[in-house]
Amino acid sequence: MRKLFFFLCTHVPKQRAKFTRIMESCQKKQKLETPTELSDMPDDLIFKIFSFLPFFKEDLATRFISEYGKGLWNPDPNAIFDDESLDMTCMSFVYGSLMSKDAQILDSLHLKLRKYYIASDINFLVQLGVNRSMRELRIDFFGKTLELPCCLSTCTTLKVLVLDHLNIMSVPGWFRLPSVETLQLSSVTGGSNYVPSLIRLCSVHERLVVDQNRNKDLVNINVPTLRSLSIDNKRRGHVPLGSFWINVPSLMFLNIKDTFQTIFESMPAMIKANIEVAHDQSQSVKFIESLTSTRHLCLCSPTSENPYPNGTKFSNLVHLKLCTCSAGWQNLLACMLNDAPNLRSLTLKLRHKSDVNPKKVWEKPTVVPECLSTRLEILKWRDYEGTEHEKDMVGYILANATFLQRATFSTKDRNQCDSRFSELQSLERVSEICEFVFD
């Protein structure tokens, strides 16, 4: 009981005097009659305590006390507090977290706060989650400035922190997020160093998600321990976006959509990368060059002429998915076939709408790429249209992929399926075990 009242006095400071009087009143009773938990107190006294809390609603408090007394309340491991509705679900999280002697561990807490609140009110809600050993916290602040709840600096169970549509002006030097492994920033703004400041808080940071860099400044991401990075920095509407400089030597998984100039340093530990970029030629060259260690690569890039420096090798690349929406995709594919000697699986797909035609007919390599003659086993071509450029490309692959086991083709134009697939079946195949699949 003392622990509960200490919590209330600390996190609802405006009502400290009233809570103290209630505590003193309880202490005056005989020891056997003194409640040990809030749930042991009379209903009218519980109601009075609830009336002092933020977000109090008389009808919901009365209903909750009644349902709790009848054993009808069950804690939800995934709590949502939305101040637009403030319904029974929201307030059950607040009241139940205070009433339950053994409150269930909170898998996730999602706060949707549209109105303006003082820092202590927000800290009160977050502390309820901290008390229940929450593992994930998401705060949607609808464009307002957030002061990071101080109670998070002592939370040792929080693994995922998501900050959405808010502004952060400063982060105290003493503040830490001791157990956070995943930090997700969606439409977050702040000073020029807000991202590095937030990253610095995470002692065991392994995963970072950034949805739009709305600062015009270059944002530095320098995290030696980072294993997974996801960036969606594509322009939506007319909102100006900034760029990134990224140094993540331990990165293993990368997912990026970017229309601006993100600069990457070497990533020697890369395993899987999903890339959609619209950089200018020089930046795309540098970007692709930084992906040489990856084993799985999904790539959409406007790069065509000289896509990366001569001598660049993708020796670890086993699976390649290439988008066919750009005019130079065939040239990029030809270069990568030459420079990925261990490629076993190739997927071609039109991931984005495009009216662009290839700039010129693909020039067949004078020497058959090593991956075609010794490694390639799987070919998948999605949205195959049967153009002269495509037939020329697939004909070359089938004629030289010695160990090809399966070639799968699909088309959007169902009226042309039979004729296109008949053409494909008539093409020369060097592999005697290659199976054709049309879906």
User: What SS3 string covers the chain?
Assistant: CHHHHHHHHHHCHHHHHHHHHHHHHHHHCCHHHCCCCHHHCCHHHHHHHHHCCCCCCHHHHHHHHHHHHCCCCCCCCEEEEECCCCCHHHHHHHHHHHHCCCCCCCCEEEEECCCCCCHHHHHHHHHHHHHCCCCEEEEECCCCECCCCHHHHHCCCCCEEEEEEEEECCCCCCCCECCCCEEEEEEEEECCCHHHHHHHCECCCCEEEEECCCCCCCEEEECCCCCEEEEEECCCCCCCCCCEEEECCCCCEEEEEECCCCEECCCCCCCEEEEEECCCHHHHHHHHHCCCCCCEEEEECCCCCCCCCCCCCCCCCCEEEEECCCCCHHHHHHHHHHHCCCCCEEEEECCCCCCCCCCCCCCCCCCCCHHHHHCCCEEEECCCCCCHHHHHHHHHHHHHCCCCCEEEECCCCHHHHHHHHHHHHCCCCCCCCCEEEEC
Q: State the average pLDDT for the chain.
A: 82
Question: Average pLDDT for residues 164-184, to the nearest whole number?
Answer: 88
pLDDT band for position 398 (50/70/90)? very high
pLDDT band for position 205 (50/70/90)? confident
What does the pLDDT look like over 312-335, one tens digit per residue?
A: 899 999 999 999 887 778 888 988
| Nearest residue to 347 via CA among 321, 371, 386, 328 | 321
Residue 216 scores a pLDDT above 90: no
Confidence at residue 26, expressed as pLDDT on a 0 to 100 scale: 57
Return the minimum-mean-pLDDT range out of 33-47, 208-222, 258-272.
33-47
pLDDT band for position 258 (50/70/90)? confident
The amino acid at 439:
D
Confidence at residue 31, expressed as pLDDT on a 0 to 100 scale: 47
Residue 4 scores a pLDDT above 60: no
- Residue 58: CB atoms within 10 A of its CB come to 10
Confidence at residue 32, expressed as pLDDT on a 0 to 100 scale: 40
Residue 404 scores a pLDDT above 90: yes
The packing angle between helices 58-69 and 88-99, to 10°, is: 50
Distance (Å, whole) CA 181 – CA 225: 10
Question: Average pLDDT for residues 178-183, to the nearest whole number?
Answer: 93
pLDDT band for position 195 (50/70/90)? confident
pLDDT band for position 111 (50/70/90)? very high
Percent of the chain scoring above 70 in pLDDT: 80
Residue 355 scores a pLDDT above 70: no
More confident site: 434 or 86: 434
Environment class of residue 167 by beta-carbon count within 10 Å: exposed (0-12), middle (13-18) or buried (19+)? Answer: middle
Question: Average pLDDT for residues 243-251, to the nearest whole number?
Answer: 86
Confidence at residue 56, expressed as pLDDT on a 0 to 100 scale: 84
pLDDT band for position 213 (50/70/90)? low
What does the pLDDT look like over 278-311, one tens digit per residue?
A: 655 555 566 777 889 999 999 988 765 567 888 8
More confident site: 236 or 183: 183
More confident site: 51 or 296: 296
pLDDT band for position 29 (50/70/90)? low
Confidence at residue 345, expressed as pLDDT on a 0 to 100 scale: 98
More confident site: 160 or 116: 160
Confidence at residue 387, expressed as pLDDT on a 0 to 100 scale: 84
Residue 153 scores a pLDDT above 50: yes
Residue 241 scores a pLDDT above 70: no
* Residue pair 194/168 in contact by the 8 Å Cβ criterion: yes
More confident site: 256 or 345: 345
Confidence at residue 74, expressed as pLDDT on a 0 to 100 scale: 79
